[in-house]
Every structure is written in structure tokens, then in C-alpha cells.
Chains A and B, each alone.
Chain A
Amino acid sequence: KAGVTQTPRYLIKTRGQQVTLSCSPISGHRSVSWYQQTPGQGLQFLFEYFSETQRNKGNFPGRFSGRQFSNSRSEMNVSTLELGDSALYLCASSLSGRGLDFETQYFGPGTRLLVL
């Protein structure tokens, strides 16, 4: 079974631009979560999508948004990029994330974004 895939793997943007990152979950997984990883703040939860609906949200500004499609693929968008948005953006998928039982989250390799 293929793992979580993220595209692109590397991206360079300039301040003020916007960016869209893509995540394809493991086949059959319906929950997709996004995290930002930086040396200073570590791994921080951005948001989670299930059945095309945002179910959980972290403490990030509204410039960070996402969506999920009917095939469970997800995209996240960052508008008006700032230097501090330079980070590794990780996507993770799980079967349902319904919160009834523990489910392993499987992480993709991430998209490394550099904002100049």
C-alpha cells in the first residue's frame, strides 16, 4: 500500500505570494491533518479534515487554510507569505480519526517551503 504522498517536495516563494500544497492520504484513509515543523516551534498542528469538513483547527492565522476533496485528498493554502512561514509542512492521514479509539497517524515526507 502506498504511503502518504505530498507535492511538491520543495518550494521557494517570495514574501507576499501565496502557495498551495497537496497531500494524498493512504488509500482508504479519510482523515487528513496538517502540521507545520520549524526549528524554533517544533511540530504544530494546523488543522484536520474529515469528509471534506474541517474538524479541528490549531492556533494559526486565517492566512492558513485548507480543504479536502471527495477522494480524501487535501490541499492547504497559505496566502500573503511571510518569512516566518518557512517550514516543513507535514500531512498525516488516519482511517477515520473519529476519536473513538486510538488510530495511528501516518505522516508524509513533507513539503519544505522557503520564503525569501
Chain B
Amino acid sequence: QKEVEQDPGPLSVPEGAIVSLNCTYSNSAFQYFMWYRQYSRKGPELLMYTYSSGNKEDGRFTAQVDKSSKYISLFIRDSQPSDSATYLCAMSKAAGNKLTFGGGTRVLVKP
């Protein structure tokens, strides 16, 4: 079983809808939680990170971490066709650079 599980999708939503993404993990040592976006033929790009439990909001994006349930979420409000991409969750035990990624969820926002 993988340390970080993520539904591969694809997740198809109409433009303007809320996109809801999540990951579960098994290692309670993870302290930093990140969401990356990856467009086709590009490298991943960091969207948000959260330290420990709690919520964080940045524009249309909201990240939530529930360490007691080992569950993290990303919500995208007012989704746009340009949000169509693969979204990857990632985690690390420390602030260093050894990240453990989920498999990614492919999101399609239809105009």
C-alpha cells in the first residue's frame, strides 16, 4: 500500500463549479502538506502548502489538513477551463526536500 493515496480521476466539472480534491496518508510523521498542479508536458508547480493541521486560503484555493484522520483536501472555487490539469498532493516529514507524492488527480473543467 502506498504511503499517500489519491484518486486518479478524471474529475470532470462544469465551469464555475467547486472542485474538491483529497488525499489520505498512512504515515503520521508527515508535517508539511502541499498541493501541486501539473499541466501536460510541464513540471509540477506549487499551489499551496500547510504546516500541520488547519486551513489555508489563497484566492480561489483552500487547503485543509486533518491530521487526526490523515486526510487532506484542496478546494478550487469558481473553476475555470484553465484549471484543467493534474493535481498532486505531496507531504514531507520535515521542511527539507524529500517529498512523498500522491498519484495525482486529473481534473477537467468544461466551458
Contacts and interface: CB of A to CB of B under 8 A. Distances in A.
A99 B101 contact: no
Interface residues of B, number: 24
A96 B66 CA distance: 29
Interface string B87-111: 0101000111111111110000000
B42 interface: yes
A109 B97 contact: no
Contacts of A90: 43-44
B60 interface: no
Q: How large is the interface on A (under 10, 10 to 19, 20 to 34, 35 or more residues)?
A: 20 to 34
B17 interface: no
Contacts of A100: 95
Contacts of A101: 95
A106 to B, nearest CB: 8
Nearest to A42: B103
A60 B40 CA distance: 26
Contacts of B44: 43, 90, 107
Contact of A99 (B2, B94, B104): B94
Interface in A58-116: 58, 90, 92, 94, 97-110
- Max count, chain B CB within 10 A of own CB: residue among A31, A105, A109: A105
A51 interface: no
Nearest to B42: A109
30 contacts: A31-B97, A33-B97, A33-B98, A33-B99, A35-B99, A42-B2, A42-B103, A42-B104, A43-B44, A43-B88, A43-B99, A43-B101, A44-B101, A45-B99, A48-B96, A55-B96, A56-B96, A92-B43, A98-B96, A99-B94, A99-B95, A101-B95, A102-B95, A103-B95, A103-B97, A104-B49, A107-B36, A107-B44, A107-B45, A109-B42
Interface of B: 2, 32, 36, 41-46, 49, 51, 88, 90, 94-104
Given A42-B103, A99-B96, 14 more contacts: A4-B43, A31-B97, A42-B2, A42-B104, A45-B100, A56-B97, A56-B98, A92-B43, A97-B97, A99-B94, A105-B99, A106-B46, A109-B42, A110-B43
